[in-house]
């Protein structure tokens, strides 16, 4: 961290320097809703995983500055391989990606050779290259329903999203045992307490939450779907079961509503904040430096990249067949 500070003049106006670099480098800044508010404010586009992938594929900019986590920046490069994709912090990973190492996933696939491998976008490029089709939380239901009924399915790496999709689609799927540290650790006790004190509030939840929490939800959807729901119900009160970074945009699109984030439980059983520490590794300082240095840059083995593109292109087509 000391190193990082020594590279930046403390009197710099970071926002205006980033704007200058954006013009100089012909760059676009893409940000996920879980980023800090100051990052959302300098972004050209904010979206859920599906929308960010589409934007990355369609952009004319020469440089994509990806303010999210590494698997998202990798997807941007896979879909638009001629671009330079930089990320503020290469250590911004994901617990779902970590839960699914390629050599074990390969064995899983080999155990079910006739199954279609449907994989959540929250995974490495290697896993995407080993998959038949990629889904996001906003596209998964439609894609799974497009798979012919006589085909069996394996789903990785999020078991909670997998269980939710089994219920929604009626399709049986063999699930990988992975989970998101943020959505799995929301405190049920704190959720109940919030609902007791705000009985008129609607509980809105991301499908990465375990079934035990989703049972309380009035509405379930991807980050963009949750945001749209609050927009459509301006003046409401919401208990938000997803990473709290999104509440910044919820306030903007639904200015007359009230929002409550839900604490998590730490290992000692104490209530704690429910931020994604991977997403929060990105800062304005690191964005400025990655644009100035054009690094760290996402680099992928071309063979893996091209194979992964097949499964991601299928996702963008919105159908398995
Ligand atoms: P979506 O933005 O696609 O809903 O995904 C949420 C998430 O977990 C990002 O890491
Ligand atoms: Fe991964 Fe969960 Fe963080 Fe999303 S919120 S990046 S799924 S750890």
Q: What is the pLDDT of residues 103-160, one digit of tens each?
A: 999 999 999 999 999 999 999 999 999 999 999 999 999 999 999 999 999 999 999 9
Residue 311 shares a structural domain with residue 171: yes
Residue 84 shares a structural domain with residue 117: no
Residue 17 shares a structural domain with residue 86: yes
pLDDT of residue 267: 84
**Is the Cβ atom of 180 under 6 angstroms away from ligand 2?**
yes
Residues 271-303: tens digit of each pLDDT: 999 999 999 999 999 999 999 999 999 999 999
Ligand at minimal distance from the CA of 184 is: 2
Other CB atoms closer than 10 Å to residue 181's CB: what's the count? 16
CA 180 to ligand 2: nearest atom: 2
**Which residue's CA is minimally distant from atom 2 of ligand 1?**
48
Ligand 1 centroid to residue 5 C-alpha, Å: 30
Residue 169 shares a structural domain with residue 147: yes
Residue 160 shares a structural domain with residue 295: no
Residue 249 shares a structural domain with residue 108: no
Q: What is the mean pLDDT of residues 167-173?
A: 98
Q: What is the mean pLDDT of residues 24-53?
A: 98
Residue 16 shares a structural domain with residue 34: yes
CA 149 to chain centre: 29
pTM exceeds cut of 0.85: yes
Cα–Cα distance measured from residue 134 to residue 309, given in angstroms and rounded to the nearest whole number: 10
Residue 109 shares a structural domain with residue 44: no
> Looking at the predicted structure, is the pLDDT value of residue 3 above 80?
no
Cα–Cα distance measured from residue 158 to residue 6, given in angstroms and rounded to the nearest whole number: 40
Domain that holds residue 108: 96-180+304-317
Ligand 2 centroid to residue 229 C-alpha, Å: 21
CB within 8 Å of 57: residues ≥ 6 apart = 76, 79, 80, 316
Query: In the chain, where do the E strands start and end?
Result: 27-32, 45-47, 63-67, 84-86, 116-120, 133-135, 153-156, 173-175, 202-205, 219-220, 237-241, 258-261, 264-265, 271-272
> Looking at the predicted structure, is the pLDDT value of residue 210 above 70?
yes
Residues 70-86: tens digit of each pLDDT: 999 999 999 999 999 99
CATH number of the domain within which 230 lies: 3.40.50.10800
Using pLDDT thresholds of 50, 70 and 90, give the confidence band for residue 6.
confident
pLDDT of residue 291: 98
CB within 8 Å of 92: residues ≥ 6 apart = 68, 69, 70, 278, 279, 281, 282
**Cβ–Cβ under 8 Å, residues 98 and 132:** no
Pocket residue to mutate for ligand 1, from 49, 242, 282, most atoms within 8 A of Cβ:
49
Dig out the tokens for 247 from the structure.
Answer: 């509440």
Residues 24-38: tens digit of each pLDDT: 999 999 999 999 999
Residue 7 shares a structural domain with residue 80: yes
From residue 58, give the alpha-carbon distance in Å to each of 80, 162, 232: 8, 29, 28
**Which residue's CA is minimally distant from atom 4 of ligand 1?**
222
Using pLDDT thresholds of 50, 70 and 90, give the confidence band for residue 173.
very high
> Looking at the predicted structure, is the pLDDT value of residue 1 above 70?
no
Q: ∠ CA 223-224-230 to the nearest 5 degrees?
A: 95
Count of CA atoms in the C-beta half-sphere (13 A) of 260: 22
Residue 55 shares a structural domain with residue 38: yes
**Which residue's CA is minimally distant from atom 10 of ligand 1?**
122
Rounded mean pLDDT of the chain?
A: 97
CA 208 to ligand 2: nearest atom: 7
Listing from the earlier edge strand, what are the strands of the sheet with 63-67?
45-47, 27-32, 63-67, 84-86
Ligand 2 centroid to residue 310 C-alpha, Å: 24
The domain total for the chain is 3
Residue 35 shares a structural domain with residue 108: no
**Is the Cβ atom of 40 under 6 angstroms away from ligand 1?**
no
> Looking at the predicted structure, is the pLDDT value of residue 7 above 90?
no
Residue 142 shares a structural domain with residue 9: no
pLDDT of residue 2: 53
Residues 10-21: tens digit of each pLDDT: 899 999 999 999
């Amino acid at each position: 961290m000391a190193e990082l500070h020594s590279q930046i003049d403390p009197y710099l106006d970071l926002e205006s320097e980033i704007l200058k670099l954006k013009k100089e480098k012909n760059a676009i800044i893409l940000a996920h809703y879980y980023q800090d508010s100051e990052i959302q404010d300098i972004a050209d586009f904010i979206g859920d995983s599906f929308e960010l992938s589409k934007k990355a594929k369609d952009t004319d900019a020469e440089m994509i500055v990806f303010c999210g986590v590494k698997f998202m920046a990798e997807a941007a490069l896979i879909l638009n391989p001629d671009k330079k994709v930089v990320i503020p912090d290469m250590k911004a990973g994901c617990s779902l990606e970590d839960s699914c190492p390629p050599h074990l996933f390969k064995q899983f696939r080999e155990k079910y050779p006739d199954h279609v491998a449907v994989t959540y976008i929250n995974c490495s490029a290697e896993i995407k290259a080993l998959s038949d089709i990629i889904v996001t939380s906003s596209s998964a239901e439609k894609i799974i329903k497009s798979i012919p009924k006589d085909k069996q399915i394996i789903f990785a790496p999020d078991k909670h999203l997998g269980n939710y999709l089994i219920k929604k689609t009626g399709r049986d799927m063999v699930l990988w045992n992975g989970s998101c540290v943020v959505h799995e650790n929301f405190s049920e006790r704190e959720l109940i307490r919030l609902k007791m004190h705000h009985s008129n509030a609607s509980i809105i939840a991301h499908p990465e939450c375990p079934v035990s929490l989703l049972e309380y939800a009035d509405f379930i959807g991807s980050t963009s779907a949750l945001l749209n729901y609050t927009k459509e119900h301006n003046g409401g009160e919401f208990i938000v079961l997803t990473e709290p970074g999104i509440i910044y945009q919820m306030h903007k699109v639904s200015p007359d509503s009230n929002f409550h984030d839900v604490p998590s439980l730490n290992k000692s059983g104490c209530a704690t904040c429910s931020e994604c520490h991977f997403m929060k590794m990105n800062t304005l300082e690191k964005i400025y430096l990655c644009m100035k240095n054009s690094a760290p840059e996402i680099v992928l083995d071309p063979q893996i990249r091209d194979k992964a593109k097949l499964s991601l292109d299928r996702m963008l087509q919105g159908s398995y067949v």
